[in-house]
Structure 1
């Protein structure tokens, strides 16, 4: 990783995380404000969970608070550079229902309200894109896939060297034994 990229990554993470920490705190402090907009999405999520047999949260307010906690924790992890890849994925996943609940621009008849929500919807899509980039960023280090492949290749070469050495040692032992049998006495 180049030294110039580290401050850029850090600044980008802090800038991206700010909106999540701020909105998460608002959701935790005043979930009632968000519950009305979230209700159609939370009802849908609850019915999906009921059908799959998963644990079902109590109500829309509980889901709003949970989403707020995810935003605060994920935003702080992203800002501090700890567990940035899982935090980015967690935030991106939580932003999908948040965007659908908070900015359903297609339901508005008023052109000004429709445009406003469409802008916020597109902004959230941009945030999801940035979060996916952050989730894929290995910070200049080789990816897990590359490291695993490299380790497998290294192990394969080590085994091949050991096999060649064993064959060479075997041939040497056979020659030595044959030479010893030919010696008189």
Structure 2
């Protein structure tokens, strides 16, 4: 599975890294596409109103950095989650096929949107991937059991095993005559 991760991560990150770099080199085109969305969101949430050009540059830098981290396996879960978070607004603004009148262009934008949607799914799976190790939530739940072993509540299987072992010892002691 490790080889699979080492091959799949760069493949999943490649379009996001190249898109981020493209946006950093020429942010004007992407800023123009995001301008109507930034205005609409800015009216409802004033904290998100801002310069579309600056917003596009920041998004491009985040996608490039998180994509490189993900591709190289450094903080892959956090990088995948970050990429997923930036992919949603990017896809909604750059591939808004529902606003396009021309049928051919609408079909092209729909295909690009669905491609982004599939990448989002892959990134969410990667964000949940623990490499076969227990998750942080699992480890923290079970750390409490080991911190206070006397007060820890036994699970039904453990309780049954302990009870069976106790009875086996008692039977063995009675058969051998030692109490």
What interval of TM-score do these two structures reach, taking the shorter chain for normalisation? 0.7 to 0.9
Determine which structure has more spread, i.e. the larger CA radius of gyration: 1
Alignment partner, residue 8 of structure 2: 12
Give the CA deviation at 1:41. Answer: 1.8
Give the CA deviation at 1:158. Answer: 4.8
Matched residues, number: 152
Alignment partner, residue 126 of structure 1: 118
Structure 1 gap segments, 5+ residues each = 161-185
Q: Is the 8 A contact 1:17 1:78 kept in 2?
A: yes
Alignment partner, residue 21 of structure 1: 17
Which protein has greater RCO, CA pairs closer than 8 Å, 6+ apart? Answer: 1
Partner of 1:157: helix, strand, or coil? coil
Give the CA deviation at 1:55. Answer: 7.0
Is 1:32 the counterpart of 2:28 in the alignment? yes
Which of 99, 102, 114 is 2:94 aligned to?
102
Q: Is the 8 A contact 1:38 1:102 kept in 2?
A: yes
Alignment of 1:1-185 (within 5 A): 5-50=1-46, 54=47, 57=50, 59-158=51-150
Q: Is the 8 A contact 2:67 2:79 kept in 1?
A: yes
Partner of 1:82: helix, strand, or coil? coil
Instruction: Quote the Cα distance in structure 2 between the aligned partners of 1:48 and 1:158.
Output: 54
Instruction: Quote the Cα distance in structure 1 between the aligned partners of 2:146 and 2:112.
Output: 49
Instruction: Quote the Cα distance in structure 1 between the aligned partners of 2:49 and 2:112.
Output: 29
TM-score, normalization: structure 1? Answer: 0.77
TM-score, normalization: structure 2? Answer: 0.79
Give the CA deviation at 1:75. Answer: 0.3
Instruction: Quote the Cα distance in structure 2 between the aligned partners of 1:90 and 1:41.
Output: 20
Alignment deviations for residues 55-103 of structure 1 (CA, whole Å, 9 cap, x no partner): 754x110011011001101101101111111111111111111011101
Alignment partner, residue 155 of structure 2: none
